[in-house]
Amino acid sequence: MNYIRFFFCGLRKNIIGAILVVTLMCANISGISAKASTEENDKETIVKEVNGAEMQLSCKSCVLMEASTGTVIYDKAKDERLSPASITKIMTLLLIFDEIEKGNITMDEEVVTSAYAKSMGGSQVFLEEGEKQSVETLIKCIVVASGNDACVAMAEHIAGSEGEFVTRMNEKAKELGMLNTNFEDCCGLTDSDNHYTSAYDVAIMSRELITKYPEIHNYSTIWMENITHVTRKGESEFGLANTNKLLKQYPYANGLKTGSTSKAKYCVAATAKKDNIDLIAVVMAAQDYKVRFKEAESLLKYGYSVCKLYKDENSDLIKYIKVKGGVSEKVRIMPKAIFSYVSTNEENFDNVKKNVIFNKKMVAPLNKGDTIGKIEYYIGDKHIGNVDIITCEKIEKASYFNTLKKLFIKYLL
């Protein structure tokens, strides 16, 4: 009996020991599995958090856009027409830089302040009637300090009057496909119901500004700077302080423009650059200034957590292609643009394939900029975009004399 009792006692200890070992192993595996699961689901959690309710996005409307492609990564009521306040000035800045590019004005050109420009209320840099400032200084006043007086001074300098300048703003909005926008002034001070835009349209004009004129960031990243007023009263210093507090709050922020009125509440068009990806986060009608920056930052963080950008400069594309019937037998070619594609679902860019397709008939005459083919891009069977191939030069049609000359050179020399 003692032997039997001893046997069962030992057996029971072994069973208990085995159970403990199995339990510990399961716990360990469970812990490893939970850790792996947590790591794998980190991004999924961030994606879920971007839901308006879970992220507690209290703003009335917002858009997150990747700048090089115009891809909308996230939005909330993106097409709702709202009062934009001073983010109106993004369009004003775009037209200013357009005029500089055309050679109609220069950065060091002097602008004279009118009595009307001086009379602007709201945010201002206190320009005096008759005061002269350079175009570049007024750009700083608009971008950094959101000066309404500086805006109107520039509008009058470019178009003769604010009204004519606003007409140009609306024409540009139509050109860019801003379907839910109408401007009535150049600075956003008005409370008119007929002065409106949408978060998506703000993203469109912001994208145009930062991609066409990236030098805007030389001004939108200024935190503080002094300007000098020179008037009949003498000289005085005035400090510009950036209204975009996101510059100190988020390390990758580099712009762009804030706005607030009692009607518009608090708005921001925030830009950032990280890992060569430019994002635009537009927040409209936030309840207070802290909320607009917090929600813009949340959108930017989300964007960088899910975005992956593929770019191809097509440096391997042939430089020339044969032309029939031209004064030259070949034409220099190039891709019209750098190809960009944004993925938010972890696609493998190693699987990108491209097909180069040229027009069947390459016959002169050809003008510079003519489209003569395209490059198609695929990931597996998924078509992700195209880039046109264009001519870099003009090729005239060969005359009878040109043809005879070619034959002479070919066969007699």
For CA atoms 39, 41, 44, 45, give the dihedral sign. negative
What is the SS3 assignment for 147? coil
The pair of structure tokens assigned to 408 is 């002479």
Distance CA 73, CA 282 (A): 12
What is the SS3 assignment for 16? helix
How are beta strands 330-335 and 253-261 bridged, if at all?
unpaired
**Marked catalytic residue, from 60, 76, 89, 140:** 89
Could you tell me if 354 and 376 are in contact, meaning their C-beta atoms sit under 8 angstroms apart?
yes
The amino acid that residue 389 corresponds to is I
Q: Is 236 a catalytic residue?
A: no
Could you tell me if 322 and 362 are in contact, meaning their C-beta atoms sit under 8 angstroms apart?
yes
Nearest to 51 by CA among 280, 302, 307: 302
Q: Is 406 a catalytic residue?
A: no
**Marked catalytic residue, from 61, 114, 123, 146:** 146
Q: How many Cα neighbours within 13 Å face the side chain of 141? A: 25
The pair of structure tokens assigned to 15 is 């069973």
**Marked catalytic residue, from 61, 68, 83, 86:** 86
C-alpha dihedral, 179 to 184 to 190 to 195, nearest 10°: -20
Distance CA 174, CA 360 (A): 35
Q: Is 324 a catalytic residue?
A: no
Could you tell me if 133 and 153 are in contact, meaning their C-beta atoms sit under 8 angstroms apart?
yes
Q: Which residues are catalytic?
A: 86, 89, 146
